[in-house]
Amino acid sequence: MLFNSYIFILLFLPCTLIGYFVLNHFGKHTAARIFLIGMSLWFYGYFNPKYLLIIIGSIAVNYGFSLLLQQNERPISQRKFYLVMGLILDVGCLFTFKYYDFFVGSINIAFKENFTLLHLALPLGISFYTFQQISYLVDSYRGKTKEYTFLEYMLFVVFFPQLIAGPIVQHSEMIPQFREEERWHLNQKNLAQGLYIFSLGLFKKVLIADTFGKVVANGFKNVDTLTTLAAIVVSVSYTLQLYFDFSGYCDMAIGVGNMLNIDLPANFNSPYKALSIGDFWKRWHMSLTRFLREYVYFPLGGSKKGCWRTYLNTMIVFLISGIWHGANWTFIVWGVLHGVFNCISRFIKPVWDRVWKPIRWFVTFSIVNALWVIFRADSLQQAWIFLQRMFGGNDFTLDRGYELYFKLKEFNFMEGRLPFLKNLSDSVYWLYTIIFFGFAFGIIFFGKNSKEIRFKPTVARALFTVVLMVWSILSLSGVSEFLYFDF
């Protein structure tokens, strides 16, 4: 189910809030927990009920292994065996559904073989809930998990606001919240704050990300005909689409969590304000960065085993990050290049920190933007052609059709009532393109992250929430999935 859908906003969310808090109000706390699990499973299996068999099976197996790992009286060798077996099953399941065809297909091409492909549908959110459960297994082995019940563990995994596209949460920050009695009852301030943040995220997705998405889809469909200026516009459009799409989802997740009195961790900290690639990864997809740091980078030795080992560990982490994002050489190359630039960023840091900030920002943003092209491309060949077009510098014309993507029906409405705006748009060739990009960058540079907002219920904020919500709902058209659903 999509956050940006009528069934979620008008049916699923109200029913979930009413059912959960009514059951808790009458002291049926276990029933309320089961109800929330059931609604989360409905949310997850809405498009394909077959996904439920996979996720429920994964939960049962991982919980069983965690119980074995929590038995400290067992010999360490035996507990280590259970950990390895659990990790093999998790990674094996992820590999089978997400990477098997890519791996076998690459072998077929390289060695001219004809091994059979499975053509399995990728279960939604499998990368997210697999990593989440891996962290739980490792923490169980380390003795950091408590005696959680199966219902608590299941709710930790399937809690619908973060189930499909994150953030990747940890048991220590979620299960204790499910146990706190004061969170079982409706909190009007949290409800208002949640609606406010949800409306911001919905606006980001529907009005901003989806508008840039139309430009991106057209551009990557016609790579061979792109001019240099068109390629730049398309690449920056994807950079902005990805940000507003993913951060919009996370805002909506945090908003729904607030409505249910659950605090989800932040996943973004103004990443496009970054002044280096290292700084970018401290701000972008923070929950994934945290997982890779705590469960891959540190176990490899982190930065404690010398300079070259630090660079090697960094490259391993970014290789895993690239592979995690998708079964395509584009993601692997994207991850490796981010690793390379991260190592360079670390190496030149003493000198780089003395460079004028606007230059540091521009270089960082340009690198991130160019690498997003590889991330978005269908193949390395398409990415190479696109980058050649973008850096070719041979044609700085831009087809008039691009302006139409940014001329929303709201602008047409305003032109009909404000003649001077119509005259201005006729005289300024790219008026709405400039307005849209300026508006997007204005939010990125000057807007507060959802976790930075110090919410105070006011009449003005209530009206603003209603306007954003109604505007976004009226702008819903068709099914527009979130980009990270594919990862």
Catalytic residue IDs: 325
User: Which two structure tokens, joined as six digits, stand for 86?
Assistant: 């659990």
- Distant-in-sequence, close-in-space partners of 422: CB < 8 Å, separation ≥ 6: 415, 416
- For residue 246, give the nearest of 322, 129, 344, 164 by alpha carbon: 164
Query: The dihedral of CA 374, 376, 382, 387: what is its sign?
Result: negative
The whole-angstrom separation of Cα 102 and Cα 329 is: 9
The whole-angstrom separation of Cα 27 and Cα 25 is: 5
Residue corresponding to tokens 């919009």: 248
Cβ atoms within 10 Å of 464's Cβ, excluding its own: 14
- 3-class secondary structure for the chain? CCCCCHHHHHHHHHHHHHHHHHHHHCCCHHHHHHHHHHHHHHHHHCCCCHHHHHHHHHHHHHHHHHHHHCCCCCCHHHHHHHHHHHHHHHHHHHHHHHHHHHHHHHHHHHHCCCCCCCCCCCCCCHHHHHHHHHHHHHHHHCCCCCCCCHHHHHHHHHCHHHHCCCCCCCHHHHHHHHHCHHHHCCCHHHHHHHHHHHHHHHHHHHHHHHHHHHHHHHHHHCHHHCCHHHHHHHHHHHHHHHHHHHHHHHHHHHHHHHHCCCCCCCCCCCHHHCCCHHHHHHHCCHHHHHHHHHHHHCCCCCCCCCHHHHHHHHHHHHHHHHHHHCCCHHHHHHHHHHHHHHHHHHHCHHHHCCCCHHHHHHHHHHHHHHHHHHHHCCCHHHHHHHHHHHHHCCCCCCCCHHHHHHCCHHHHHHHHHCHHHHHHHHHCCCHHHHHHHHHHHHHHHHCCCCCCCCCCCCHHHHHHHHHHHHHHHHHCCCCCCCHHHHC
Residue corresponding to tokens 């068109």: 230
